[in-house]
Structure 1
């Protein structure tokens, strides 16, 4: 899995033959399902906890167990996919995932549910790492830009339509469909792969490296658990979080040392650490951070200030998802005709502008409609930015390196998203406490303005039989203002992170090397002049 940084056409025959578009649909469906499921269980967590009679602390592990399993299985998925080909492992994983999704709502207790969630995470964790390799090996290099754009579309579309789906299931069906909807998707994925991808005989080119596989998967899984539970358990004030961070760090250090010294390492260390790959993986993490941060900020505001339910929140987030069906085509067109850094840089600019637009104009009176313009702008920015960064990385790869890059991309994607969620959750909590304290300093008992406000509330509430509720109403007003201010601060933070990513991408990342997948110029000179 080593080689130069230039792009070369695959030396061997493509893995997909017969009906390659059907196989491509199958693996892209896998990326959609994997992201959709993790996001759905986040939005529907309260309903799931209630059905299982689980408390907040116990129920917090429901989503953590799913993504921990995805992190744990990623190295094994890449190794098995390299030895046996993606078809066999993806079909088996899709069937196991469908079975686990079907059984999850029948769980009688939390322990059983967590076990099935872990199995679902293990099976779905194979989807995304193997997808990019399949795209590069099954498509002509001149079509890679379109494959990457659709790949990015799948990741972000599933992320932002989940709130609408979860709200629809809870309001019109039952919470069980949060998981049952994955059954036909998993079976459909398996069918597409069965008839769309030709069987690939095993290869002995990739050596068995059990220590490297275990250390990598376990190290990232432990660190992920620490990040996911850190805000709830007060970070380093918790012995559990400190232990998870220490154990995960030790495992990853041991993994890096082992891979650098082993005669037959599982992961070629030159691929993720070969310039500019480290920077591109960092940019993927930053993009995932910005995307998940804004996806968390809007529900945080609409739920905390306006009291919106999941379905009403989904009416806003869906405006990020739906336009991407069109913007992915724009992204692919730009990738084929311009330096992909242009598409990525423009996308990061649009994300920053969208965030600052909200920060400058947000008030407690905002509802779903007021977010429309900024979310349409952000939808275009997300597609362009993610497509541009991933395609730049692809142009720095050989197709045989795609498996190693797929594993690195999965780790960067999950960690970037988790860091973003943890960062924005902690940031919002701290900034809301600060804003509440500052506002509260101006709400002093006996002050003339405060008494006038209480008298006004009392005048309105007395005819309704709630004359004693005036202080509570005033306290709620203070909370709403503090939540609004912390939301504004959150959007400013995301805009700053997007600006940092833009600076790194445009000024530091070098132009990608030329190859068969490189952008085709808009105008060609005659006679080679």
Structure 2
């Protein structure tokens, strides 16, 4: 049913409008919704805790820096691989079976990881954890698209946004508490304890309803395998690019070339042998493509609290528990702001306007944070926490709401393969956008630090009276704890160098905040280019009642 038909039906006094949502939507159990929220939070929190606890994990296993670089990649690359492949698994076995099986394996693996002391076994188990938890996002989103009661839809989307943002922003404080008061192993045990609760919600809340399969042919896995492997190799190349020095590395070139070949194979396979589990033609829609770009860019915006703020404090030697409050209070605010955003949606506000408010608030917060100096502590970020909380909550809620409305009113729920296809699409865009953003931001900060170090170094030359005076003063102060005058002079030069690097990093972080501001401006352009949905969240419950009425005649 087209958008025009829906709009015409909505305005017709003779008959009630037909709903683009499934007719049994309002009978969905709330436990299934809770499972959706828990699944999103668990996989997000696991990936974030793994990156925060990487140093402790490497120390426990006894591995080098280069070996440790593949620890996080094993989990994240597997997460990327299983995203598109979840469409095949969900179509073959049903979403409920795949979720329960994946969650069971993930629980056992997460509980076992702290006891692993073999590097090879660690990589294998992390890959298994990524493969199993990677099904949480696309398959639970598929359930959400087809089963959330319309009267709860805005509230559930608000909570979904909070669970994702809250997991990201709470992770440093959670890991800092575990590390300093319990044990670093809890970064694995916490997801292992939370996943059984999700499994219970999935078991009792999601009905056994596997996708109908064609009687003529079984679904082919080859195209899914090529696509998933291609995205996984691309993700690995981006993840290791900064360490390998990008195009100067043969391994990076090999990963990138392999990714390109597999993606081309996937495209050729899709064009030559269509698969009934995939409806790529449905994705050829202006708003769907634009929302994909918007989600891709939004991942760069989130780096303000994922990378820039934590690194700006950790570069001074602060640990996770010390710099965690700089982003923790943003997460605390987001729970209240999620309900505010849901209320605005229920009042009939356009989801695009909610997005615009969010990105504007993030931009203003980053402009204020661009006053950063090397003397800042976690408390220095508190004045901008409210703006950042409003921005991230409203922007993500508006983006997810726009995606849901677009899927609903473009026919995405009329066939199960469309729901699976669009879920896998946005899941892949989310992961790739996040990794591209991390790679670009990491490269940008490293290069800007080198530039500022060189520029600052031009003003620190031997023979300058201020430089010589500072060196002599530092050497005199360090002489009592140094090996003679030469040792004291060497330590004084080291102190000057560390101060220069700290200032260079400070300038690089200021530049990074400006990059996020520019990304927010791009997001505002994307928002303005979106076409308006025929109905808003205030009108959806009435639409559902019209669909449930016995007088309704669906066109």
**TM-score under structure 2 length normalisation:** 0.88
In structure 1, what is the Cα distance between the partners aligned to 2:185 and 2:537?
47
**Alignment of 1:512 onto 2:533:** yes
Using the TM superposition, give the Cα deviation of residue 259 of structure 1 relative to its aligned residue in structure 2, in angstroms: 2.6
**Alignment of 1:436 onto 2:453:** yes
Most deviating of 447-456 and 431-440: 447-456
Q: Tell whether the 8 Å contact from 1:143 to 1:517 is kept in structure 2 after alignment.
A: no
Q: In structure 2, do the counterparts of structure 1 residues 209 and 146 end up closer, same or farther at CA, with 3 Å as the change threshold? A: farther
In structure 1, what is the Cα distance between the partners aligned to 2:255 and 2:480?
56
1:332 corresponds to:
342
Most deviating of 91-100 and 448-457: 448-457
Q: Tell whether the 8 Å contact from 2:26 to 2:150 is kept in structure 1 after alignment.
A: no
In structure 2, what is the Cα distance between the partners aligned to 1:227 and 1:168?
31
2:139 corresponds to:
130
Deviation string 1:105-139 (CA, Å, 9 cap, x unpaired) is: 11121100111101100110000112222223222
Give the counterpart of 1:425 among 442, 460, 476: 442
2:228 corresponds to:
217
Give the counterpart of 2:257 among 246, 250, 269: 246
1:229 corresponds to:
240
Q: Tell whether the 8 Å contact from 2:355 to 2:399 is kept in structure 1 after alignment.
A: yes
Q: Tell whether the 8 Å contact from 2:92 to 2:211 is kept in structure 1 after alignment.
A: yes
Where do residues 400-479 of structure 1 align in structure 2 (5 Å cutoff)? 400=415, 401-458=418-475, 460-462=477-479, 467-468=488-489, 469-479=491-501
Using the TM superposition, give the Cα deviation of residue 500 of structure 1 relative to its aligned residue in structure 2, in angstroms: 0.9
Give the counterpart of 2:513 among 480, 487, 491: 491
Q: In structure 2, do the counterparts of structure 1 residues 210 and 83 end up closer, same or farther at CA, with 3 Å as the change threshold? A: closer
Give the counterpart of 1:503 among 518, 525, 544: 525
Give the counterpart of 2:328 among 304, 318, 323: 318
In structure 2, what is the Cα distance between the partners aligned to 1:445 and 1:268?
67
In structure 2, what is the Cα distance between the partners aligned to 1:517 and 1:405?
24
1:343 corresponds to:
354
Partner SS for 1:514: coil
Give the counterpart of 2:186 among 177, 184, 187: 177
Give the counterpart of 1:288 among 291, 299, 306: 299
Using the TM superposition, give the Cα deviation of residue 4 of structure 1 relative to its aligned residue in structure 2, in angstroms: 4.5
Partner SS for 2:374: coil
Deviation string 1:13-60 (CA, Å, 9 cap, x unpaired) is: 34975xx11121112101100010011010000000111111111111
RMSD: 2.3
Give the counterpart of 1:375 among 385, 390, 405: 385
Q: Tell whether the 8 Å contact from 1:431 to 1:486 is kept in structure 2 after alignment.
A: yes
Mark the runs of 5 or more structure 1 residues left unpaired by the alignment: 522-529
Partner SS for 1:244: helix
In structure 1, what is the Cα distance between the partners aligned to 2:211 and 2:113?
34
Q: In structure 2, do the counterparts of structure 1 residues 5 and 415 end up closer, same or farther at CA, with 3 Å as the change threshold? A: farther
Using the TM superposition, give the Cα deviation of residue 463 of structure 1 relative to its aligned residue in structure 2, in angstroms: 6.2
In structure 2, what is the Cα distance between the partners aligned to 1:515 and 1:175?
45
Deviation string 1:141-176 (CA, Å, 9 cap, x unpaired) is: 343222222222221111111111211222122221
Q: In structure 2, do the counterparts of structure 1 residues 448 and 404 end up closer, same or farther at CA, with 3 Å as the change threshold? A: same
Q: In structure 2, do the counterparts of structure 1 residues 172 and 445 end up closer, same or farther at CA, with 3 Å as the change threshold? A: same
Q: Tell whether the 8 Å contact from 1:324 to 1:380 is kept in structure 2 after alignment.
A: yes
Structure showing greater Rg? 2
In structure 2, what is the Cα distance between the partners aligned to 1:322 and 1:516?
25
Where do residues 39-438 of structure 1 align in structure 2 (5 Å cutoff)? 39-200=48-209, 203-204=212-213, 208-304=219-315, 306-336=316-346, 337-359=348-370, 361-397=371-407, 398-399=412-413, 400=415, 401-438=418-455
In structure 1, what is the Cα distance between the partners aligned to 2:274 and 2:308?
47
Q: In structure 2, do the counterparts of structure 1 residues 12 and 484 end up closer, same or farther at CA, with 3 Å as the change threshold? A: same
Partner SS for 2:399: helix
Most deviating of 321-330 and 38-47: 321-330
1:524 corresponds to:
none
